[in-house]
Chain A
Amino acid sequence: MSTVQAAPPRTETDKVLAALGSSERPAPAGPLSSSLTFGWRALLKIKHVPEQLFDVTMFPVMFTVMFTFVFGGAISGTPGEYLQYALPGILVQTVVFITMYTAMTINTDIEKGVFDRIRSLPVWRPSLLVGALLGDSLRYLMASTVVVVVGVAIGYRAPGGLLGIVAAVAVLVAFCFSMSWLWLILGLKLRTPNAVMGAAMMILFPLTFVSSVFAPPETMPGWLRAFVEVNPVSLLVEAARGLMDGVPDAGDITLVLVLAVAITAVFSPIALRLYNRAS
């Protein structure tokens, strides 16, 4: 190929040939290494598209401030008192809302063709998903930090102390990790990121509002209370509230973790199957 017939300069072809020649052939990355590499990709995306952090930072601030000062006085007498009740709930609601980005991310990857490119590589296939989940956890942590910092700034004091807050966030992130599998299924099944967004809103609004996030269930009519009490988000809120209030309820916490494991056990095989056979 030293003489190439076409117009482009000869050197160009030579450079490509040289690059091909020097390519070594290492063994492809193992599952851990490839998962971490995809996690690195998630971080790079945060760096290049910082707008995506808008939801993670602005929503928590809005929710915390808005609910405290708009409804606080009416519900609990004073905003300060309401904040003590509502902050753990707002923390849970904020992070549960952010879980939907798992579906958005995978769906966008499919739409843009990145998904196919990655699936044609000789690496452990689920590593794309695991890497994305690593990136998601970072987002959960950031949002949690924002909520707590804003809460403390406007007067929230956790009787459970820093340890209580950290434990509550840990339980929350563990539960959200399991929810990600559900989102993956949605993200793989729906056609466009917009459809994902629509479906996510339909699921998340009832799930987070019809719960014990904003008001004690005892004040609600019986039929609604029935739903609130079986809503896993309520359970999660109770567990977080107990930890942050300094009166952790081992039963609630165990139940949340068992639920997280159960959701993962049921939905991760479905998500992985869909992922492997996606077409």
Chain B
Amino acid sequence: MSLAIETTDLVKVYRSGQTENRAVDGVDLAVGSGGIHGVLGPNGAGKTTTIRMLATLTVPTAGEARVLGYDVVREAPEVRARVAMTGQFASLDEDLTGFENLVLLARLYGYSRTAARDRAAELLEAFDLSASAGKQVKAYSGGMRRRIDIAGSIVVRPELMFLDEPTTGLDPRSRNQVWAIVRALVGAGTTILLTTQYLEEADQLADRISVIDHGRVIAEGTSGELKASVGSGALTVRVADPARRTEVAALLTESLGAPADLGSDPASLSMRVDDPTAVAGALARVGDHGVRISEYALGQPSLDEVFLALTGRPADDQDHQDQQKETVA
């Protein structure tokens, strides 16, 4: 299987005055053809900068990157002819209508005047946007906006598509629509590099995932492999009587072999679970001791937990601090 993307020690440094920001600090990626490769990381981890270098929008400070076998600097036009980019930082013209935007792109891709109009109409129909064809894109909802962005990227079917946080800020229904479209693209043979902040999204879509933090790849694998590194998930329990919380914690620790984390909520506790099949038995044992549990949930580890396990700190320190400040205030 040939590699769709291959980078070696890719670096991008932004300088402004005295300060130097190493946005991407030695990224090594090897992404095979076909399927979806996820790049997972918190805000500011270097995901978008990496994609911008791969899409020939930014020249790397150091290192090498080949996309579909072409060097992104020396053979940039070859790369541009084969890839498409959609995302927060690459969008359509808000002042134009959806139809006009697609005609514009089709003309640039070399369609004749009539063929461009036909293609635009066809794409609008396929993405369920015909009714809004004559509306300015700035009047589109978030989900419509994302669909027209993707439509613009497949005027000519790209061999490789960069999708930069395609569902950030979307409601669940729009998110599902975008996911269905992405799966259709893969079904038609396009390779997709997807960046996301959500473990769930990477889990749903990506065959393999690279976790990136501070401009470096800190882990790589299937979502199963990544989750295995943090245990299968987290068990959260609320007890009916907060006074008996420590008793429950001790019982669960005994059964599941993991330390309990007593949250700030006096009735709740959580712990990491390596073997989900043992959970039912452990909870039953708590019941046998006559303690009533009002609520329990066995969830997937969150991105935060993956990060905590990989880096020893939460995914978004900044957010974390903000939250703490709010709690104090």
Give the complex CA separation of A48 and B94 in angstroms: 10
Give the complex CA separation of A22 and B126 in angstroms: 11
**Partner-contacting stretch, out of A34-42, A72-80, A193-201, A227-235:** A34-42
Instruction: Given A16-B184, A116-B85, A122-B77, decide whether A41 and B176 contact each other with a Cβ distance below 8 A.
Output: no
Which chain A residues numbered 108 to 140 have a C-beta less than 8 Å away from chain B? 112-114, 116-117, 119-123
Instruction: Given A117-B92, A120-B56, decide whether A16 and B85 contact each other with a Cβ distance below 8 A.
Output: no
Which chain A residues numbered 1 to 45 have a C-beta less than 8 Å away from chain B? 1, 4, 6-8, 12-13, 15-29, 33-34, 37, 40-41, 44-45
Q: Chain B contacts of A34 at CB under 8 A? A: 107-108
Q: Report yes or no: B183 in contact with A1, Cβ–Cβ below 8 A.
A: yes
Give the complex CA separation of A71 and B127 in angstroms: 60
| Interface flag for A219 (CB, 8 Å) | no
Give the complex CA separation of A117 and B105 in angstroms: 10
Q: Chain B contacts of A23 at CB under 8 A? A: 119, 154-157
Give the complex CA separation of A219 and B94 in angstroms: 50
Which chain B residues numbered 79 to 105 have a C-beta less than 8 Å away from chain A? 80-81, 83-85, 88-97, 100, 104-105
Q: Report yes or no: B95 in contact with A12, Cβ–Cβ below 8 A.
A: no
Q: Chain B contacts of A8 at CB under 8 A? A: 176-177, 180
Contacting residue for B52 out of A4, A114, A116, CB 8 A: A116
Q: Report yes or no: B92 in contact with A44, Cβ–Cβ below 8 A.
A: no
Q: Report yes or no: B157 in contact with A4, Cβ–Cβ below 8 A.
A: no
Q: Mark A157-199, 1 if CB is under 8 A from B, else 0.
A: 0000000000000000000000000000000000000000000
Q: Report yes or no: A12 in contact with B128, Cβ–Cβ below 8 A.
A: yes
Q: Report yes or no: A16 in contact with B81, Cβ–Cβ below 8 A.
A: no
Q: Chain A contacts of B185 at CB under 8 A? A: 16, 20
Give the complex CA separation of A277 and B61 in angstroms: 12
Instruction: Given A12-B128, A117-B85, decide whether A112 and B94 contact each other with a Cβ distance below 8 A.
Output: yes
Q: Report yes or no: A20 in contact with B188, Cβ–Cβ below 8 A.
A: yes
| Interface flag for B122 (CB, 8 Å) | yes
Q: How large is the interface on A (under 10, 10 to 19, 20 to 34, 35 or more residues)?
A: 35 or more
Instruction: Given A1-B184, A20-B154, decide whether A120 and B90 contact each other with a Cβ distance below 8 A.
Output: yes
Task: Kindly provide the distance from the CB of A1 to the nearest chain B CB, expressed in whole angstroms.
Answer: 4
Give the complex CA separation of A16 and B176 in angstroms: 14
| Interface flag for B39 (CB, 8 Å) | no
Instruction: Given A1-B183, A12-B128, decide whether A117 and B152 contact each other with a Cβ distance below 8 A.
Output: yes
CB-based nearest B residue for A127: B108
Q: Chain A contacts of B115 at CB under 8 A? A: 24, 26
Q: Report yes or no: A29 in contact with B96, Cβ–Cβ below 8 A.
A: no
Give the complex CA separation of A117 and B108 in angstroms: 12
CB-based nearest B residue for A23: B157
Which chain B residues numbered 133 to 150 have a C-beta less than 8 Å away from chain A? 136
Give the complex CA separation of A172 and B46 in angstroms: 47
| Interface flag for B111 (CB, 8 Å) | yes
Q: Report yes or no: A121 in contact with B80, Cβ–Cβ below 8 A.
A: yes
| Interface flag for A153 (CB, 8 Å) | no
Q: Chain A contacts of B190 at CB under 8 A? A: 20
Give the complex CA separation of A24 and B125 in angstroms: 17
Q: Report yes or no: B80 in contact with A120, Cβ–Cβ below 8 A.
A: yes
| Interface flag for A202 (CB, 8 Å) | no
Task: Kindly provide the distance from the CB of B59 to the nearest chain A CB, expressed in whole angstroms.
Answer: 6
Give the complex CA separation of A15 and B95 in angstroms: 27
Give the complex CA separation of A114 and B136 in angstroms: 14
Give the complex CA separation of A7 and B175 in angstroms: 11
Contacting residue for B136 out of A22, A27, A48, CB 8 A: A48
Give the complex CA separation of A27 and B152 in angstroms: 17
| Interface flag for A49 (CB, 8 Å) | yes
CB-based nearest B residue for A109: B93
Task: Kindly provide the distance from the CB of B14 to the nearest chain A CB, expressed in whole angstroms.
Answer: 8
| Interface flag for B110 (CB, 8 Å) | yes
CB-based nearest A residue for B150: A16
Task: Kindly provide the distance from the CB of A18 to the nearest chain B CB, expressed in whole angstroms.
Answer: 7
Give the complex CA separation of A161 and B148 in angstroms: 52
Q: Report yes or no: A113 in contact with B88, Cβ–Cβ below 8 A.
A: yes
Q: Report yes or no: A114 in contact with B93, Cβ–Cβ below 8 A.
A: yes
CB-based nearest A residue for B111: A26
Q: Chain A contacts of B81 at CB under 8 A? A: 28, 122
| Interface flag for B296 (CB, 8 Å) | no
Q: Chain A contacts of B188 at CB under 8 A? A: 17, 20-21
Instruction: Given A13-B184, A48-B136, A122-B77, decide whether A26 and B109 contact each other with a Cβ distance below 8 A.
Output: yes
| Interface flag for B266 (CB, 8 Å) | no
Give the complex CA separation of A84 and B255 in angstroms: 98
24 interchain pairs, CB-CB under 8 A: A1-B183, A16-B127, A16-B180, A16-B181, A19-B122, A19-B154, A20-B157, A23-B155, A24-B111, A26-B109, A29-B107, A33-B107, A34-B107, A41-B104, A44-B95, A114-B93, A116-B57, A120-B80, A120-B85, A121-B80, A122-B80, A279-B57, A279-B58, A279-B59
Additional A-B contact list (9), CB under 8 Å, known A15-B128, A120-B55, A120-B57: A1-B184, A4-B180, A13-B183, A23-B154, A26-B112, A34-B108, A114-B93, A117-B92, A119-B56
Interface on B for A, CB 8 Å cutoff?
A: 14, 52, 55-59, 77, 80-81, 83-85, 88-97, 100, 104-105, 107-112, 115, 119, 122-123, 125-128, 136, 152, 154-157, 176-177, 179-181, 183-185, 187-188, 190
